[in-house]
Chain A
Amino acid sequence: MTVRTGTFLRLALLLRGPAALFLYLFSSVFPAAPCVAAAHPDTLKIGVLAPLSGPYAAGGTSFVQAATLAVEQANAEGGVFGQRVTIVVGDTQGRVDVAKAEALRLVSREKVSALVGAYLSEETVGVMEIAAAQRTVLLVPVAATAEITDLVRREYARYRYVFRVGYSLPQWAEMIAAFLSDRKVRRYAFVGAGIRWNRELGETLERIVAPLGIAPVYTAYYSPGNPTFDTVAVAAAAASPDIVILADPGRNSVSFLKRLRESAPALPALSIGGALGDARLAASVPLSAPVYVQAAAWRGVSPAATAYVERYEHRFGAPPVGYSDTLPYDAVTVLVAAWRKAGSTATEAVVPVLERGTFAGTAGDYRFDAAHQAVWGTGPGALRGTFVRWERDGARIVFPPR
C-alpha cells in the first residue's frame, strides 16, 4: 500500500476541527484526577475500586464520595500515626478485567496499603485474586455474593486478607424476611435485572421466608438490553402480591416503579438498596401506595448515622442513598481504626486485629466471623440495616420498630 505525504496532510487538515473540539471537551471533562493522591512521603494510601464510568457510574461515584468523606474525617481526627490518609481511585468501569488491572496498578505502582472495593460481585471476586496474590488487605463494602466469604472459609490461607463489611445475601434476605413479616405480607413478587446478585438474593429469600408462611407469587429477571418493564409490571400486578420487591440497584428501579405505578397504583413496593434511596428520584415517583427502601443506615437511626448524613449532605450537596455510600464509608472507617489498633499498616499486623476487634461504624458495630463476614443481626449496637418509607416531605424509618 502506498501512502503519500499529501494523504496525511489532508487527513490532518480534515481532523483539525474535531480534534480541537475533542481536546477542548476532554480538558473540560477530565480537568485533573481530583481523587488521586499526590505523592507525599507522609501519606498513607488506600486504593478504592469503583465504577466511575459506564452504567454503574452513579453507584461508583457515591462510593468514592463516601470514601473521600471517611478519609477527611480520619485526617480531621489526626490521621494515622501522625500521617495523612488519602485515597487513590481505580475506575473499574463495571468490568472484571478492568477491576483486576486497576487493583494490580494500585497495589504495585501506587503502593497503596490496602484496597476497598469493588462494586459488583463479579468484579470483587476478580479483585480478590489480586489481593490474595499481593497479600493486601481488601475490604468489601457492597458486593454480596456468597462466593466471597465461601472462598475465605474454604481457602483461608490464601484469602484471609479479604473482609466483607457489607451484608451477605442470607443477611439481606433475613432482614427482608423480618420486614415482610412485620408488614403482614404473605405473597410477594420479586423483580430485578438478570444479574448474579439478584438471582442469588431471590433464591435465598424464597428459602428464608418459606417457614414464615411467605411465598413468591411472581418472579422475573429482565434483560438490561430490553427490560420490557411494562410487561413485567403488568404480570407482577396480575399475580396479586401484597408487595413487589425490586432487586435492582441502578436506574432501572426508577423506570420499573413508574410502570408499576401506572399498572397498579395501590400496590406497595420495596426497593432494595437501589437508586430509590435518592430523595430527588423518589420525588418523581407517585406515592399512591407505599414505597419502601432498604438501607444500611439512615438519618435518625443513630447519632453516628445522623452525623454521617449531615456531613455527606454538607460536603456533596445531596443526601446519601444509604447503601452504596454508607458501606464504603464504614469500610474505610473500619480500616483506619484497624490500622490504629494494630499500630501498623502491615497486612500481617492488620489481619489479626480485623479478625478479633470490634469497630464502630455508621451502620453499627462491625465484628467479623470466621469467614470474615461482618455480623449483621439483632442486639445492642448490632448491624441490622433499616427500612424507610417515602412520604411527600421525606423518608420515615418504619423498620426495625423503634
Chain B
Amino acid sequence: MASPLPQVLLDGLFAGGTYALMAAGMALILGVVKVINLSHGAFFTLGAYVAYALAERGVGTPIAAAPLAAVIAFAFGVFLGKSFVNPARSHPFALPVGTLACALLFEQAAQMVWGPHPLSIEAGAPWIGPGGLVIRRWGVIAFLSSAALLGGLKWVLSARPGLPLRLIAEDEEIAGSLGMDVEAIRYLTFGGACAMAAAAGALLSPSGAVTPTMGRAPLLLSLVVVIVAGMDSVAAIFLLSIGLGIFGNACAWLLSPQWSYVALLAAVCLLLSARPAGIVVTAGRRD
C-alpha cells in the first residue's frame, strides 16, 4: 500500500461505527426518557461478558450472543427503569448519581464473577481489500450494525409504531391525556436502550479486551455524540459519530496519538459553543 492514510481513514469509519452503536441507545434514553443514564456503559460491558461466556463454552459467536445479551439487558433495564429511573426522574441530580452507582456496582459484581483480569475473544482474521487495505471484521460489524440500528430507530420514530415515543418525547402531558401509559413506555424504552448497549458490547467484544471497566470510555464518547448531535435527528447522530471517528484517527495520524483525544474533545467543545442545543434541533420543540 502506497500511503497508510486510506487505511487510517477506513479505520476511522469503523471507529465511528462503534461510537454510533453505543450512541443509538443513549439517544433513545435522552430523547424519550430524558435522563442521563450513566449505567449505559455497564450494559455494554454486560454484553461483552455474555459474548465471552458463550465463546468460552464454544456455544456461540459474538453475533449469536448479541440477541441473548439484549434480552438479559432488557430485563435488567426494565427493572432499573421501573424501580429507580421512573420514580426518581423528578429529582435531576438523583438520576446521574444513582445510575453511576449502579454502573460501579455492576463493575464490582463483574469483577467478582469473572475476575479483574482481562479476558479476550478471538477476533478472526481481517479481510484484505483493494490496494492491500485491511478491512477489520469487528469494524465492518460495528459500521453495519450501527447503520441498521439507527436506520431502524429512524424508521420506528417516523412510522406509526413510534408515535407514542414521539409524543412522549414532545409532551408527556398530552401523551398521558390521550390515554397512553407514559410510565410503562418510559421504562420499556429504557430497557430497549439498555438492550442496544448490550448488543453493541457483544458485537464489539472481539475487538479488544473484556474487563469490568471496559464500558467507561464508550459511555463518555456516546454521551458526547448524542449531546452534540442533538436528540432530534438519528441521521445526525450517525454522521457525527462517523465524522468524529475519522477526525480522531486523522489527528492521531497527522499530529500524534496522544493528541487525538484532546483534538476530538476540543472539536466537541467548539461545536457545542456554536450550537449549544445540538447540531440539529427541530424548531418549536417543547421540553
By a CB distance below 8 angstroms, the chain A residues around B84 are 15, 17-18
Within 8 A of A (CB), among B217-233: 217, 220-221
Ordered by A's residue number, 14 sampled pairs between the chains whose C-beta atoms are within 8 Å are A29-B105, A58-B117, A58-B118, A61-B115, A61-B116, A62-B117, A220-B256, A223-B260, A226-B261, A228-B252, A228-B260, A229-B208, A234-B253, A255-B208
Give B110's nearest chain A residue, CB to CB: A29
Q: Is B256 a contact partner of A55 (Cβ separation < 8 A)?
A: no
Within 8 A of B (CB), among A249-269: 250-252, 254-255, 258-259, 262-263, 265
B108 CB–A CB distance under 8 Å:
yes
By a CB distance below 8 angstroms, the chain B residues around A57 are 111, 116, 212-213
Within 8 A of A (CB), among B183-233: 206-209, 211-214, 217, 220-221
Q: Is A220 a contact partner of B117 (Cβ separation < 8 A)?
A: no
Q: Is A231 a contact partner of B108 (Cβ separation < 8 A)?
A: no
By a CB distance below 8 angstroms, the chain A residues around B276 are none
* Chain A proximity mask over B254-272: 1 for CB below 8 Å, otherwise 0: 0011101110100000000
Q: Please tell me which one of the listed residues A61, A234, A284 contacts residue B121 in the complex, with CB atoms under 8 A apart.
A: A284
A370 CB–B CB distance under 8 Å:
no
By a CB distance below 8 angstroms, the chain A residues around B8 are 230-231, 234-235
By a CB distance below 8 angstroms, the chain B residues around A285 are 120
B284 CB–A CB distance under 8 Å:
no
Q: Is B257 a contact partner of A230 (Cβ separation < 8 A)?
A: no
Residues of A within 8 A of B (CB): 14-15, 17-18, 21-22, 25-26, 28-30, 52-55, 57-58, 60-62, 194, 220-232, 234-235, 237-238, 250-252, 254-255, 258-259, 262-263, 265, 275, 278, 280-281, 284-286, 318
Q: Is B123 a contact partner of A262 (Cβ separation < 8 A)?
A: yes
- Shortest B104–chain A CB gap in Å is 9
Complex Cα distance A254/B48, Å?
15
By a CB distance below 8 angstroms, the chain A residues around B87 are 14-15
Give A56's nearest chain B residue, CB to CB: B116
Q: Is B260 a contact partner of A29 (Cβ separation < 8 A)?
A: no
By a CB distance below 8 angstroms, the chain A residues around B214 are 251
Across chains A and B, the number of contacting residue pairs, with CB separation under 8 Å, is 156
Complex Cα distance A219/B131, Å?
26
- Most chain B beta-carbon contacts within 10 A, residue among A17, A220, A228, A254: A228
By a CB distance below 8 angstroms, the chain A residues around B220 are 225
Q: Is A230 a contact partner of B112 (Cβ separation < 8 A)?
A: no
Q: Is B11 a contact partner of A223 (Cβ separation < 8 A)?
A: no
Q: Is B212 a contact partner of A223 (Cβ separation < 8 A)?
A: no
Using known A-B contacts A57-B116, A61-B117, A255-B207, determine if residue A226 contacts B248 with beta carbons closer than 8 Å.
yes
- Shortest A313–chain B CB gap in Å is 14
B45 CB–A CB distance under 8 Å:
no
Q: Please tell me which one of the listed residues A28, A234, A278 contacts residue B117 in the complex, with CB atoms under 8 A apart.
A: A278
B88 CB–A CB distance under 8 Å:
yes
Q: Is A281 a contact partner of B217 (Cβ separation < 8 A)?
A: no
Complex Cα distance A70/B112, Å?
23
Q: Is B111 a contact partner of A25 (Cβ separation < 8 A)?
A: no
Complex Cα distance A375/B276, Å?
58
Complex Cα distance A228/B7, Å?
13
Q: Is B260 a contact partner of A17 (Cβ separation < 8 A)?
A: no
- Most chain B beta-carbon contacts within 10 A, residue among A52, A57, A250, A262: A262
By a CB distance below 8 angstroms, the chain B residues around A255 are 207-209
